[in-house]
Amino acid sequence: MARKAHAKRNANFIKQPDSRRAKGKRKRSTRRYEQDGAEIVELGAHLSHLEVNTKQRRAPQPLKALNSSQKRFISSIRNNCLTFGTGPAGTGKSYCAVSLAAEYLEAGQIEKIILTRPAVEAGEQLGHLPGAVDDKFSVYIDAFRDILNERLGTGAVDYCVRHGRIVAAPLAYMRGKTFNSKTFVVLEEAQNTSVTQMKMFLTRIGEDCKVVINGDTRQSDIKAMNGLADALQRVRGLASVFVHEFERDDIVRSGLVRELIDRYEC
């Protein structure tokens, strides 16, 4: 009897740790951790093709135009391979383009977003900034990141950056690349490109990709003819190319921005 009781106690002792280990495995099958203040849950349910979910607040609705000009701009991006968005700051050029890129990625219509801009602005160059190239260029694409975080959630954006689904790089790094049919490319601050840089960028465009080029020719830091102004003259009348011009009245950032632009441009 004593041996049977001892064996029973041993069996219970062995069984209990196994049960705890099994529970631990079940818990680890759904991994949770915090990043940038958001709880990340890796489970491959919603946004399954991105393989990540986040409880951080995301934009609850699809991209919605704030005025008729934005509506035409968004429509032109959807219906054309190459779209130019020109006009003053605060009209929503960047927000519309990057938000639409995020929408396409989430829907699985594209596989990659490429965000780029010339790494020269107001006399500053990458070599003047501390850190490696990625660290230096991150200063230039913070605005992109804010929009993507709003539209997709921080966790999804972090995942896509780690796995090459969202790529941000200086314009010079576009040389030798081809934008394929599953790519959405946004070039910002195009008024600070040279004619040669713009030609290089435009000749990267492959079949059926989406390319948006945004800028304001009146805000160029290039003393000679800038690449955006030159390209706008060359592309008029080409099929699958649309040029959308925002006006002062299309500014949605704030009434103060409209008044400031009037003071600077009068």
Number of Cβ within 10 Å of residue 83's Cβ equals 25
Q: How far apart are CA 96 and CA 83, in angstroms?
A: 12
* Domain range annotation of the chain: 54-265
User: Is the pLDDT score of 91 beyond 90?
Assistant: yes
DSSP 3-state assignment of 23? helix
Q: Which helix (H) or strand (E) holds 169?
A: strand 166-170
pTM of the model: 0.74
Residues in the chain: 266
Least confident among 59-73, 118-132, 230-244: 118-132
Name 168's bridge partners: 115
User: Nearest 5°: CA angle at 131, between 129 and 134?
Assistant: 95
Q: Average pLDDT, stretch 166-189?
A: 91
User: Is the pLDDT score of 51 beyond 70?
Assistant: no
Could you please state the CATH topology (level 3) that the domain comprising 54-265 is classified under.
Rossmann fold (3.40.50)
Least confident among 11-15, 85-89, 193-197, 233-237: 11-15
Q: Which helix (H) or strand (E) holds 222?
A: none
pLDDT digits (tens, 9 = 90+) for 213-226: 999 998 888 888 99
Q: Percent of the chain having pLDDT more than 90?
A: 47
User: Nearest 5°: CA angle at 66, between 107 and 122?
Assistant: 90
pLDDT score recorded for residue 132? 52
